[in-house]
Every structure is written in C-alpha cells, then in structure tokens.
Structure 1
Amino acid sequence: MASCSSTKLVVVFAYLVLLTFSDNLVTGESDNVKLNLYYESLCPGCQDFIVHYLVKVFDSDLYTITDVKLVPFGNAKVSKNLTVTCQHGEEECKLNALEACGIRTFTDPKSHYWFIRCVENDTKHWESCVKNYGFEKYIYDCYNGDISKELILEYAKQTMSLKPPHEYVPWVTLNGKPLDDSVQSLDDFVAQICKAYKGKAPLPKLCDSSVLMPKSPKRKVPKLQVSYADKAINN
C-alpha cells in the first residue's frame, strides 16, 4: 500500500503537469505566423496595405496560419505630459483612437480587421462604419472617454519598444522580425507569410507553387508609399 507521502508527491506532480498544460492554453501558443502591423490612419501607404493587401489574409484560408495584430500609432509622438501628436494632424489622432476602440470592441482579429478596413477605405465617412458594424455605444463610449487615450498610450509603448526601431509605416513584422524594405514589394507579401510558417498543418491553398515562385527580374513590382518616422510632425 502506498504511503501518504508518496501519494502527496503523485498529486503534486499531476498538479504541476496540469498547470503547465493550462499555461500553454492561456498564452495561446501556436505555430501560426505572428504578423504585426504598425500603422497610422491617414498614411496613404497604410491605407493601401490594409485595404488591398492585408485583406488577402482575411479573405482566404491564409488566416488559418496567421495571427494578425494591428497597432494604430505609427509615427506619432508622445510629450512629457502624455499629449499625442500625429504625423498627419489631429484627424489622424482621432481615427487612430477610433480604430483602437474598434480593436477593443471587436476582440476577434478578423472582426476588427473588417471594421478598420471599412474606416480606412473611406476615412471621411467613418461614422457609417460604426453604424453598420454595430456596438455603437461601446465604440463611442471608448472613443469619447479616457479608455481611448489609455489604449493609444499602450500602442505607443509597443511601437516605441520595437527592436530595431521602425523606420516608416506601414511597418510589418513576421514572428517579431521586420520585413524591412521588402514590405514595399507587395508582390511577395503572401509568399513571405507562407515561407515563415513552420507548423505541421498543411499550407493554405493560397500558398500554392505559383505564389512561392521567384519573381521575374523583368517584372514590375508595386511599391508602397511609406511615411517615414523622421518626417516632420504636423501640428
């Protein structure tokens, strides 16, 4: 018959195993490619990337291997008294805050992506996006209160802690590594996600051989109109 001390050891060991397993579930560890997009609302290149290129992730099976995180702060600056100044003026600050509230309200990345895409596709009529996607009260309560300020300051912290620091926006990282100048070559955006995936699940259909083939040197590659971080801030 087992002693009491042996029984206790078995119970403790089982508890530790369960705790470790639970921690892995909580942290959400997966083999998916971690795609972070650091951007600002009125940046033409950011709008182009969100509306016409990032949509490829959410409008296909590529989403099954990609965890997308959107960080709306970009090249803004934070003063000592925590005042935020945006590169494209006050309207950009407002839209960054609105989109931060959208991310908070629509917690699922796919849901808040479509909301943000709606705003970036027509920034002058962003109110219709709030109305059409629902949860108006939650978004406006966040947007008009202190919550939006707290969210933006947190995104500022995340953006300013990037290593290496971002040079421009849109700034994209895959598994924590910046794409550097290659982000401007939109032609291979999907291929880079496919190549970065090291999981065991089969690659999405979008990652077919034609996507992963090397580009012809004679082929023209579309470029993003980036906004550089050292460019003067609009007051």
Structure 2
Amino acid sequence: MEPAGVLKNSVWAVHLFALLIHVCVGFKADAEPVKVTVYLETLCPDSMIFVKHQLAPAWENLREIMHVDFNAYGFVLETPLSEGYEFSCQHGADECKGNMIIECARKYADNLDAFVDFDVCFMSSSYPPNEGEICADNVGVAWSPIDICSKSVEGQQLLHESGVRQNSLVPVPNYMPWIIINDVFSQEYLDEAQSDLIGLVCRVYEGTLPPICQSSSHF
C-alpha cells in the first residue's frame, strides 16, 4: 500500500492534469447556441449602453454558446427615390450613416464572428459613426468595401432591408434596443438582457455551462 502522502499527491496530480487539459482544449459547446437578436440605433444612448456594458462582456465570455445578430434601423422615416432611399433618423443624419455602416458590414465582413466583433467595437465607441475604420482595423475587417457601400445606393438599399426586417416583427418594436432571445420576444427577456445578459444567456442555454455561468454573481 502506498503511503498516504504519496497517494494524496497522486490524486492531486490527476486533478491538476485534468485541469490543464481543460484549459488547453478550451470550453466546447454541446448544445445549440443562444440566439441574441438586437435591433438598435447607432446614436441611441440606450443602444450604446447595452452593447458596451452587456453585449460586449457577454460576447467576450460566452461567444461559444451565443449566436448574435445586429440590425440597425430604429425609428426612421424613409422616402423612395428613383434610385435608393432618403432617410431621416431619430438622432440625425450621422445616425443614418452609422446604421448604414452596420448594414454594410453585415454584407462585407468575412464571417458572422467578424461582423459581431466589428459591431461590438463600433457601438462601444464614444461616437460610432466616426469609428468605422478604426474598428475595422482593430478586428481585421476590410474597411474599404464597407465605406464605399455606406456612401452608396447599395447602403441605402441594405438599410431599407433592415427596416423591412424590423417592421415585420410581432410585436413591432417601440423601444431601442429591441432584444429577442431564440426568436421569441418577451418583456422579461428585454428587461433582463439590459441588466444581466450573461446571466440570461447562461439561464437559457441548454447544454453544459461554461465556467463563468457558475459564478454566483450571475444567478
């Protein structure tokens, strides 16, 4: 029989080895990701606060179990032109510019993660409409096609399409940001997402929870 000290050290070594494997391999999702769909305006203070203080940390810590989609439109008056559209956005012309940048990034970012990374950076800045190029550089997205798109009829068309998506929702949004979880809107989800999105995603996710979800501060 091994001495107690040797046995204890052996058990500790096994636990340490298992921990190292977990750290090296990383967390793997084993269920469908929680779909977080956000409708927002780029100069809406509540939209900016939500992204900076809720969505950004949730995306940083839980991207393995989240599917995030951004839609920028909000409360807009639009007028069809012979080509494209003219927009009047709630917070002014710069908001229309910012909204079009997001919708063009949807089309020209390399993949969904890059699109979300760009939008999180963009909406976490002090004045999003002026931060497109900086955020594109920060997350490794080509800025030129987004910039060209946002200043063209193409950008106008993409912003119009975002409005079509928003206005097809039931209920139609009467507040920004409008947050939908797993394609289901509820006032409970909207309220909780703005106060503890990490806790909400952890609660809704049906698979094995990542370590941050086990923190008492989120339950």
| Bigger mean CA offset, 84-93 vs 177-186 | 177-186
- Indicate the SS of the match to 1:78: strand
What's the CA shift string for 1:6-58, capped at 9, x where partnerless?
A: xxxxxxxxxxxxxxxxxxxxxxxx72211100001000010111122101232
Which of 84, 96, 99 is the aligned partner of 2:99? 96
- State how far apart, in whole Å, the 2-side matches of 1:55 and 1:99 are: 16
User: Is the aligned partner of 1:148 residue 2:155?
Assistant: yes
Distance 2:93 2:67 in 1: 30
In the aligned structure 2, how far is the partner of 1:74 from the partner of 1:159? 8
- Which residue among 130, 134, 152 is the counterpart of 1:128? 134
Residue number in structure 2 paired with 1:197: 205
Cα distance in 1 for residues equivalent to 2:190 and 2:112 = 21
RMSD: 2.2
**Structure 2 CA distance for aligned equivalents of residues 158 and 79 of structure 1:** 17
Gap change, CA 1:91 and 1:181, over 3 Å in 2? farther
Paired residues of 2:34 and 2:66 also in contact (CA < 8 A): yes
Is the Cα–Cα contact under 8 Å of residues 38 and 71 in structure 2 kept in the other structure?
yes
Q: How many residues align?
A: 181
- Structure 2: state its 5+ residue gaps: 1-30
User: Which residue in the other structure is 1:210 paired with?
Assistant: 216
With the length of structure 1 as denominator, give the TM-score of the two structures: 0.68
CA distance in 1, matches of 2:160, 2:130: 25
Question: Is residue 54–residue 195 contact of structure 2 (8 Å, CA) maintained in 1?
Answer: no
Per-residue CA deviation, residues 45-79 of structure 1 (Å, 9 max, x unaligned), is 1011112210123211x211211110011222333
> What does residue 71 of structure 1 align with?
71
Consecutive unaligned residues of structure 1, counting only runs of 5 or more, are 1-29, 214-235
Provide, for residues 96-134 of structure 1, a one-character-per-residue CA deviation record: whole Å limited to 9, x for no partner.
Answer: 101211222214233222322333213264243345545
- Secondary structure of 1:167's match? coil
Mapped partners of 2:105, 2:199: distance in 1: 29
Calculate percent identity across the aligned residue pairs: 26
Per the normalisation by structure 2, the TM-score is: 0.73
